[in-house]
Structure 1
Amino acid sequence: SVCPSYFRSDRTLGAELATCPDSEPLGRVIFGLYGRLLPLTTANFKAACTSAAYRGTLVHKLLQGQFFVAGRQGPRRDRGEVQPPTGLVRNAETIDPKAFELKHARPGTLSLCLGQNDDDDDIKLNPNYHNVEFLVTTGPGPCPELDGQNIVFGTVLEGMNVITSIATIPTYKPAERIRFFNDFAQLIGDERAQTARALWDRPLKTVYISDCGELKVTKPSLSPPSLP
């Protein structure tokens, strides 16, 4: 769903993401997962969906013409952050070279964020950390810059029109002067530069996952694209 503005001021710490009264449903997206090829990555994604961990959480980054990112972790459910469910498996596929062989070659590619992951460092350093941040390519073309850095584990089966609608939402883009000063601050090691950069490419409307779950099929037939 989408709201015209980003955050409401009447949310309280710990509350679920409060939706605005004029939120508009964008539709349903159905992903097919490559469970036979990437059983650990798909198991954790499915667990996050069926436990409703993604419900009420934000699409927090959108690079127009490329991809959007959702599933950022944090303690603030009122800010649309994800709190992963218990019982997720340790994902050894994140260090397996074979897991990175599929390409971001077409719109609707579903991928586990590794190179593009923007969870806070203190969260990543937790020994119980499980990455549940994901990205979806929006098209119109491939995203080869994502290859080898993120794990492709599924694709959009239905609802590509929803992906296209999200891709058209305007985002925050700083002026050239602000970018220059941010680059300089990062060069001299000012930690505030990274904090400010986290706001770049954020949708100017609240795009959130209003519901999620699993659709079971009797005979799964989805196969990943052929490897090169």
Structure 2
Amino acid sequence: MAYPLPPPPSSLPHHMTRRSLLLLSTASTTTTATSAALSLPPTPTVTDRVFMDFSLCPNNFLPDRADTLSPLCSDSSLLGRVVLGLYGNLVPLTVSNFKSMCLGLNATTSSYKNTLVHKVFPGQYFLAGRQGRPDKGEVRPPHDLPRNTETVDPKAFALTHSRPGVVSLSLSENDDDDEIKLDPSYRNVEFLITTGPGPCPQLDNKNIVFGTVLQGLDVITAIASIPTYQPSERIRQFNDLAEFFGDGRAQNARNIWNRPLTTVYISDCGELKVAKPSLTPSLP
């Protein structure tokens, strides 16, 4: 008596159909694509624009200024205007505080106006907005400036310092005195702008990128070319030794390193109204 032969064994498990396999493959591909998309930095949108006029002073700043509204230099020359685009959707608190410091609309007249560019690192970036005494060209933030909680939010550090003209809240490179930072009312308003020609990866994940230079990159390049004070190798060695032994004067001595030999300062600043937010800015 002949018995029917059993069906050939399938290479798929009994509960796995070809349709199920196709769906599983599609889901796996989608998950991989989603994960890759999440790892990409966000696309910033310029929501606000501010301007900064930078000026040069042939002499050092005047130490006897009566208030922050008087000119920093009586014989200054305009270097040029820089227009900054700010990413208000990405880091709204950082952008709001920066705009406040440009406009001086808080309870006091504190603003970036008449304050120094106090450090220039050739081929990298410059620093402005150092806190301290207004009569020395430093800034004093108003007491009602909101506390910036984005400084402890990992998502705020997503953008990188990948090119010239990146505007960033200076955290790791902050030049404010330690005594000022220990004040309970301390608000970080010091900022940096990358000058190029290349990226500054050492600043990534440490400082909050919140804007870009839309116009006036030539002004940024001109600031970067200003000669700065560079100590000799012997002075650097003595300074390292003093720091090793805990001598507090070592840090005080380093405060004048990389200072521009020609005074450059923010002679005016303010907001430029935007009819509607733009898409990703066309970079300079």
- Asked if these proteins are the same fold (TM beyond 0.5), I'd say yes
Distance 1:145-1:81 versus aligned 2 partners, 3 A rule: same
What is the aligned partner in structure 2 of residue 92 from structure 1? 149
Identity of aligned residues (%): 64
Shift, 1:190, TM fit = 0.3
- SS of the aligned residue for 2:81 comes to coil
Q: Do 1:40 and 1:91's aligned partners in 2 also have CA atoms closer than 8 Å?
A: yes
Q: How does 1:168-187 map to 2 (within 5 A)?
A: 168-187=225-244
Question: Which whole-Å deviations, capped at 9, do the CAs of 1:170-221 have from their partners, x for residues lacking one?
Answer: 0000011000000000011000000000100000011000001111111011
- SS of the aligned residue for 1:29 comes to strand
Cα distance in 2, alignment partners of residues 215 and 4 from structure 1: 29
What is the aligned partner in structure 2 of residue 2 from structure 1? 56
Question: Which whole-Å deviations, capped at 9, do the CAs of 1:75-127 have from their partners, x for residues lacking one?
Answer: x2121010112422211110111111100001000000000001111111111
More strand by share: 2
Cα distance in 1, alignment partners of residues 87 and 125 from structure 2: 20
Cα distance in 2, alignment partners of residues 224 and 120 from structure 1: 35
Cα distance in 2, alignment partners of residues 87 and 79 from structure 1: 23
Q: Do 2:163 and 2:198's aligned partners in 1 also have CA atoms closer than 8 Å?
A: yes
Cα distance in 2, alignment partners of residues 119 and 191 from structure 1: 15
- SS of the aligned residue for 2:272 comes to coil
Cα distance in 2, alignment partners of residues 15 and 103 from structure 1: 37
Report the TM-score, using the length of structure 1 for normalisation: 0.93
Tell me which amino acid in the other structure corresponds to 2:199.
Answer: P
- SS of the aligned residue for 2:270 comes to coil
Q: Over aligned residues, Cα RMSD in angstroms? A: 1.6
Cα distance in 1, alignment partners of residues 139 and 185 from structure 2: 15
Matched, 1:42 2:92: no
Distance 1:191-1:224 versus aligned 2 partners, 3 A rule: farther
Shift, 1:21, TM fit = 3.9
Distance 1:94-1:56 versus aligned 2 partners, 3 A rule: same
- SS of the aligned residue for 2:78 comes to coil
* Structure with the greater alpha carbon radius of gyration: 2
Unaligned runs of 5+ in 2: 1-54, 105-109
What is the aligned partner in structure 2 of residue 56 from structure 1? 114
Q: How does 1:111-190 map to 2 (within 5 A)?
A: 111-190=168-247
Question: Which one of the candidate residues 21, 27, 33 is aligned to 2:80?
Answer: 27
Cα distance in 1, alignment partners of residues 176 and 88 from structure 2: 25
Q: Do 1:34 and 1:222's aligned partners in 2 also have CA atoms closer than 8 Å?
A: no
What is the aligned partner in structure 2 of residue 73 from structure 1? 131
Q: Do 2:143 and 2:185's aligned partners in 1 also have CA atoms closer than 8 Å?
A: no
Shift, 1:224, TM fit = 7.6
Q: Do 2:66 and 2:135's aligned partners in 1 also have CA atoms closer than 8 Å?
A: yes
Q: Do 1:34 and 1:224's aligned partners in 2 also have CA atoms closer than 8 Å?
A: no
